[in-house]
Amino acid sequence: MSERFWKRLPRILAEGVYHKIQYDFSCNRGDAFGEIYLYSIITELLTSKLDMTQVQLSLGYAADAIQAHTNTRRKELDFAVTDRGTKDIRVCGELKWAGSSHCRPKNILIDLVRLQRVANDAPDSICIFLLAGPKSEIASLFKRGLLGYEFNNLLTKPLEKHLEEQSSKIQKTFRLTGNSERQSEIDQHLIETPNDLPEKIITSPRFSTLAAPSNGRFGCHAWVVKSFC
């Protein structure tokens, strides 16, 4: 696979997830929608696009970089693609379904912290945060907590059409330490997270269904977490 392909993979996955949701909804499968449902789509897309003789796909991947180094249960990423030879992480990601009880700003922050740890530990890996679900629930999510602020919020909000072509050039830095405006909220959310936190989270948007005309009721958005080490 070329480097260009790997760089485009976040967009390929997000577009595929979006169109599969639209198709399945038209086939009256909406009752099955949720985070577990996203796992099945990601599995289909990755195994169809990658040479599975060279890489291995794991759902629930306990990356060394996100472990607490205690006797607690090992932490897992939602998915990871590793090289069968070197065992290096090529791609990994966290998934959220907007509207589910688990899709809250606190849990999104924890997901992004995990991805930032992996990105810093393996700078050549592609670390993806993917959010899908009803458009109304996505809009509501970006009005709450660390996602709802106009400035110094956790993620760049889903992009409108005129920004899509430049999305890969947009970069947001959200400080986890020394963040005078949000520190108390950050500390409250990460109280059960190990102390060796990255000092910041760096993200860049890669795909937003707001950038394409659609009358559908669902949306899908993807961001990449970037290394700063």
The pLDDT assigned to 162 comes to 46
Question: What integer is the mean pLDDT of 153-182?
Answer: 80
Q: Which of 111, 133, 126 is nearest to 34 (CA)?
A: 133
Question: What integer is the mean pLDDT of 206-221?
Answer: 79
The pLDDT assigned to 195 comes to 61
The pLDDT assigned to 208 comes to 87
CB 93 within 8 Å of CB 128 = yes
Q: What is the pTM of this model?
A: 0.93
* CB within 8 Å of 186: residues ≥ 6 apart: 109, 146, 176, 179
The pLDDT assigned to 3 comes to 85
Query: What confidence tier does 70 reach under pLDDT thresholds 50, 70, 90?
Result: low
Report the chain's mean pLDDT, rounded to a whole number.
Answer: 91
CB 90 within 8 Å of CB 77 = no
CB 103 within 8 Å of CB 134 = no
Question: What integer is the mean pLDDT of 176-186?
Answer: 94
Q: Is the dihedral of CA 100, 101, 104, 110 positive or negative?
A: negative
The tens digit of pLDDT for each residue in 185-201 reads 999 999 877 667 899 99
The pLDDT assigned to 213 comes to 57
Q: How far is CA 82 from each of CA 22, 41, 94, 119, 125, rounded to the nearest angstrom? A: 30, 18, 15, 14, 9
Burial class (CB in 10 A: 0-12, 13-18, 19+), 90: buried
Q: Which has the minimum average pLDDT: 15-24, 47-56, 125-134, 162-171?
A: 162-171
Q: Which has the minimum average pLDDT: 89-103, 137-151, 184-198?
A: 184-198
Question: What integer is the mean pLDDT of 67-93?
Answer: 90
Query: What confidence tier does 221 reach under pLDDT thresholds 50, 70, 90?
Result: very high
The tens digit of pLDDT for each residue in 15-54 reads 999 999 999 999 999 999 999 999 999 999 999 999 999 9
pLDDT over 90 at 157, yes or no: no
The pLDDT assigned to 119 comes to 98
